Amino acid sequence: MELLEYSVFKEEKMLEEVLEKNQDAYYYVYGNYRKEIIEISYGYNKELIVETIMHGLSEEVSTNICNNLLYLLDGMEIIERSAVSEDEKVEDKIEINNMKKITIGELLDMNFEITDGFLNIDINKLSDKIDEENRNNIWDENIVEETIANKFLIEDKENVKLINSLSDYTQFVYELESRMPNSLVSRGQKDCSFDLVPSIYRIHKKKQDVHAKGYEQTFRQRIAHYLKDTRERTLEELRAEGQHYGLPTEYLDFTEAHIISLLFATEEYTYKDKHSVVFFIDSTAFNKSSVNKEEKLINLQLESEKTYLKDYSSCSYFIKVPNINERIHFQKGCFLRISQQDYSDNKDFIENLKDKCGIAIINKDCKEEILKELFSLGITFESIYPDKDNLIKSIRFSYEIVQGGGKLR
Q: How does pLDDT run across 182-216, given as a tens digit for each residue?
A: 789 999 999 999 999 999 998 988 888 888 888 88
Helical ranges in 323-387 per DSSP H: 326-330, 340-344, 346-353, 367-376, 381-384
The model's confidence at residue 242, banded by pLDDT at 50, 70 and 90, is confident
pLDDT exceeds 70 at position 408? no
- pLDDT (average), residues 159-175: 96
Q: What is the pLDDT of residue 220?
A: 82
User: Rounded CA gap, 312 and 315, in Å?
Assistant: 5
Instruction: Answer with the residue of higher pLDDT: 21 or 174.
Output: 174
**H/E run at residue 397:** helix 388-397
Tens digits of residue pLDDT in 59-79 = 666 676 777 777 777 776 666
- pLDDT level of residue 87 (50, 70, 90 thresholds): very low
For residues 44-49, average pLDDT? 66
Query: Cβ distance 342 to 395 under 8 Å?
Result: no
The amino acid that residue 132 corresponds to is E
Res 263 pLDDT > 90: yes
Helix, strand, coil shares, percent, the chain, to 5:
60, 10, 30
Model pLDDT, residue 278: 98
Q: What is the pLDDT of residue 235?
A: 76
Candidate ranges 193-197, 235-239, 344-348; pick with highest mean pLDDT: 193-197
pLDDT of residue 245: 80
Confidence of residue 387 (pLDDT cuts 50, 70, 90): confident
- Rounded to an integer, the average pLDDT of 253-266 is 95
Mean pLDDT, the chain, rounded, equals 80
Q: How many DSSP H helices and E strands does the chain contain?
A: 21, 10
DSSP state of 300: T
DSSP 322: -
pLDDT at 52 over 70: no
**Of the candidates 247, 197, 195, 199, the residue with the CA atom closest to the CA atom of residue 220:** 247
Amino acid of residue 342? D
337-341 contacts: CB < 8 A, separation 24 or more? 337/250, 337/251, 338/196, 338/197, 338/198, 338/201, 338/250, 338/251, 338/252, 339/250, 339/313, 339/314, 339/315, 340/201, 340/208, 340/209, 340/250, 340/314, 341/314, 341/315
Residue 384 confidence (pLDDT) above 70: yes
What is 143-190 written as a DSSP string?
THHHHHHHHTT---GGGEEEE-SHHHHHHHHHHHHHHSTT-EEEEEES
